[in-house]
Amino acid sequence: MKLGRTAWKTKLDLTMKLWSELRPNESQRFLGFSRNDFSFGSIRTLATNIDFSEWVNAWAGGDDSWSFRVRGAVSDGRVMNMESHVVGYEVSGVYVLDFDVLAASCLMDGQSVPDPPRVSIDASDAEVASHLADYCLRTDRIWAFFGGANVDHLPALVIWMIQNRRAVGASNACVSMVCAAYVYGETQLSLDLLAEYEMEWKRHMQLAPGEPIVPELVGILQFGPSRELVQEMGTEALAEAARLRNMIEHRYLA
């Protein structure tokens, strides 16, 4: 039995309800749903303009099952303020980074990463709730590893995720990541990330026309954008990187 749009809306409502029971002190943000998937977020305020979110994404696993994963994400106004200075306009709603909760928790436990949970279309509410509870437990254990879910322990969590970004399913080095490392007191890491960011852009600017572009680096452009567009984007990115390096070397927060 293949799920249709109405059935997916029912699954969305159920999952949001179950999640709110697990996270009663967080606010939920609906993202969207279609005939094949849905997404919503659960936001925890750590301090003014500093949030930690869990994004729940579900998708069809065939005609008789569905799967879901959860990603953690950090939003910090201090980081966005620095990034705004770099790009020359106000940045808002940008995550410092996001990571796969399952991958991060398995890395901490020294375990291989299993496939996301897969449940039958006819699975009971209790079965769905048990998988969601497991994700919540994993997130709580990740926070506990750094001392608990509060703003004082946020820098340690973010820096660890950045240092293990490939293993936890985070993006490649980016401006937000560089700014976060600097704001959280890891100046050398910020410079290392910046060098990686510049190197990646230079490499992509040298690719032959038609070669794929890394999605994490340039967003939606994945398959062979025009050489002119890549050069234009790369030139702008490298100019921003130069401004960022100058800010770091001249102690932006001094």
| Residues 215 and 91 occupy one common structural domain | no
Q: pLDDT tens for residues 132-175?
A: 999 999 999 999 999 999 999 999 999 999 999 999 999 899 99
pLDDT at 252: 64
Judge whether 179 lies within some domain: no
| Residues 161 and 194 occupy one common structural domain | no
| Residues 57 and 152 occupy one common structural domain | yes
| Residues 28 and 154 occupy one common structural domain | yes
d(CA 221, CA 241): 20
Q: Which residues contact 222 (CB under 8 A, 6 or more apart)?
A: 212, 213, 215
**Nearest of 35, 32, 161, 149 to residue 96 by alpha carbon:** 161
Instruction: List the domain range (segments joined by +) for residue 149.
Output: 5-170
Q: Position 163: which residue type?
A: Q
pLDDT at 6: 76
Last residue of a domain, one of 122, 144, 170: 170
Residue 8 has pLDDT above 70, yes or no: yes
d(CA 225, CA 145): 42
Last residue of a domain, one of 120, 139, 170: 170
The reported pTM is 0.87
| Residues 20 and 131 occupy one common structural domain | yes
Q: pLDDT tens for residues 169-210?
A: 998 999 999 999 999 999 999 999 999 999 999 988 886 555
Only one residue has tokens 């399952």, namely: 102
Judge whether 211 lies within some domain: yes
pLDDT at 232: 86
Q: Residue 210 region, left (φ>0) first, then alpha (ψ -120 to 50), else beta? A: left
Residue 113 has pLDDT above 50, yes or no: yes
Judge whether 46 lies within some domain: yes
Judge whether 43 lies within some domain: yes
Mean pLDDT, the chain, rounded, equals 88
Judge whether 180 lies within some domain: no
Confidence class for position 4, pLDDT limits 50, 70, 90:
low
- Give yes or no for a contact between 176 and 96, defined as CB atoms under 8 angstroms apart: yes
Judge whether 176 lies within some domain: no
| Residues 244 and 194 occupy one common structural domain | yes
Residue 221 has pLDDT above 70, yes or no: no
Half-sphere exposure of 24 (CA within 13 A, CB side): 1
pLDDT at 17: 95
Confidence class for position 94, pLDDT limits 50, 70, 90:
confident
| Residues 113 and 16 occupy one common structural domain | yes
| Residues 141 and 27 occupy one common structural domain | yes
Query: Average pLDDT of 83-108?
Result: 92
Query: Average pLDDT of 60-66?
Result: 81
Element (H, E) at 124: none
Confidence class for position 219, pLDDT limits 50, 70, 90:
very low
Judge whether 175 lies within some domain: no
Q: Please count the structural domains in the chain.
A: 2
Judge whether 183 lies within some domain: no
pLDDT at 121: 86
| Residues 132 and 193 occupy one common structural domain | no
Confidence class for position 15, pLDDT limits 50, 70, 90:
very high
Residue 62 has pLDDT above 90, yes or no: no
Q: What are phi and psi of 158, to 5 degrees?
A: -65, -45
The radius of gyration of the chain from alpha carbons, rounded to an integer in Å, stands at 20
Q: What are phi and psi of 70, to 5 degrees?
A: -130, 135
